[in-house]
A and B are shown apart, each in its own frame.
Chain A
């Protein structure tokens, strides 16, 4: 029946796609601008006319400066180490907490869960000074531990995983207890495999947030050797690049690239994890 109005149908599709393309273009523009600048020679960057592709290709020089003027690989490695450690610790804390809040019955459970919700409301910046003072007391400032420890407990992670664990029927847990699994084995053998998409989604949130974080590393760390990529780029600007935006943008492209690759790989699972589906 719809095939009877090919003209109208076609027009509707064009309109829909036009809107989508416009929105995507708007979101991607800063990113494209960054890539474009990273390929331009300095004199072209400040030209008045707008041009996406440079007239004189200067990409090789810019990326060469970005990779050699600062220890870029060191920054990337630091980022990998810090993000992996944070995510591992978060899982270690969040999964048992979320399981207890979702599936065990004990006095004060609802109060504890309210505390988690309150924790969600606190902006991390509000905790920066207490964290800084505590790390100072333990003499951990300007170490990897200073970058990792304040994020080891994620209220967001506890909340997210608790919601997913709740969607697993109690009968499965009862069956597991009758089958002889202990509580930790239930978590390991039943809960984690059944909520793998949610764990992936949480992993992406966590890693993106801490890979891109500038605020906390700026406070906690001063040494170049333990800088994360975002902080490294900043140090690099101060010392070397000055107004040389080309190499700076090249550096920014380099630190964003691993995240993009990771996202493309995990894209399917991320979407599965965010769309709350019934798991059978």
Chain B
């Protein structure tokens, strides 16, 4: 049982500030994903929670205890690393047993050579063996226990790394891009397995990734980080539909959200949709919020530059009429055939138009504010 509370965490390496005053509450049993581009400070934040790095200021509270003065071992957290960080000279069994041995055996019992002679060591080793085997069965790696990590495939190593983290039943799981070394197919499969593992263990997961698809599919809540700051923490569907910041809107969703500046919009001779706030400098809309109409009938007009057929969807890249900027449109494959170089009009649903001011902050229309409230 552990909720995590971060209070104004600051971290800098020399002059470079990596984490800038991040405050975040993570609920007990929640799956929270930290997502952001590389170098945004998300991995540093994770290592601060683990106790592998010390923050310059701020507090970390895990399960109601301030853990700032505790060593990683005492924090009751486990971590899965991008490179898996398995011990290459130890068998899978010993990799899984090591965290249990350091906790259950006394210092004297762990001594090289001499340790075996101490009383009760045999009994403790038996409980360790039982726990390791149980974890291995859960992850379907029981047949690999005698192998060395070098003899395993990427997916198997990933499971061993998960096993080493879960074998001691920590209150918090920290994961630092655990899937990024796997091929695409395996990644999707392991995603599902990690979600299932979270459901079964019911403990708090903090998951770091730069892949917005992982963040969207796996998490209860997603925290979007950029430049060392938290931009927005919310449920995945809210992040997609209702981003507070233009950078969040651009980060979440694939293909990327379409952004047309107000100046560009008017220079195209198009009238602004009704309800556009006077402070709004950027108008953004998702690919599925655009409809294709006959050329000249839409609010914006352009020429289809390329067509990407994904089977379930077709994405059209439409170059705007003045030749600058591209809008991505998602259409249904059953819709009329789209050809390159055809001129089309774009109809944008005003209800799905997101407006941002010059600083990239969300501007809401009056009725949207009411709806959000």
Contacts and interface: CB of A to CB of B under 8 A. Distances in A.
B87 to A, nearest CB: 6
Interface string A164-199: 000001011011111111000100111001100000
A279 interface: yes
Nearest to A195: B89
B110 interface: yes
A171 B47 CA distance: 11
A1 to B, nearest CB: 34
- Chief secondary structure at chain B's binding surface: mixed
A179 B81 contact: no
A280 interface: yes
B73 A171 contact: no
B167 to A, nearest CB: 10
Contacts of A177: 51-52, 71-73
Contacts of B81: 171, 174-175
B87 A180 contact: no
Contact of A172 (B52, B71, B85): B85
Contacts of A180: 73, 99, 102-103
B239 interface: no
B85 A193 contact: no
Contacts of A279: 88
B83 A169 contact: yes
Contacts of A174: 47, 50, 52, 72, 79, 81, 85
A112 to B, nearest CB: 19
Of A174, A175, A181, which is in contact with the most chain B CB atoms at under 10 Å from its CB?
A: A175
Contacts of B79: 174-175, 178
Nearest to A192: B89
Contact of A280 (B77, B88, B99): B88
B88 A175 contact: no
Interface in B72-100: 72-73, 77-79, 81-83, 85-89, 98-99
A32 B178 CA distance: 59
B168 to A, nearest CB: 8
A190 B81 CA distance: 17
B56 to A, nearest CB: 14
B87 A190 contact: yes
A194 B89 CA distance: 6
A178 B50 contact: yes
Interface in A18-65: none
Contacts of B102: 179-181, 185
A178 B87 contact: no
A193 B77 contact: no
Given A171-B81, A280-B150, A178 B72 contact: yes
Given A171-B81, A193-B89, A280-B150, 9 more contacts: A174-B52, A174-B81, A175-B87, A178-B72, A178-B77, A180-B73, A180-B99, A194-B88, A279-B88
CB-CB nearest 5 A-B residue pairs: A180-B102, A171-B85, A175-B85, A180-B73, A179-B99
Interface of B: 47, 50-52, 71-73, 77-79, 81-83, 85-89, 98-99, 102-103, 110, 112, 149-150, 164
26 contacts: A169-B85, A171-B81, A171-B82, A171-B85, A174-B50, A174-B52, A174-B79, A175-B81, A175-B85, A175-B87, A175-B164, A176-B87, A177-B52, A178-B73, A178-B79, A179-B73, A179-B102, A180-B103, A181-B102, A185-B110, A189-B87, A189-B98, A190-B87, A194-B89, A280-B149, A280-B150
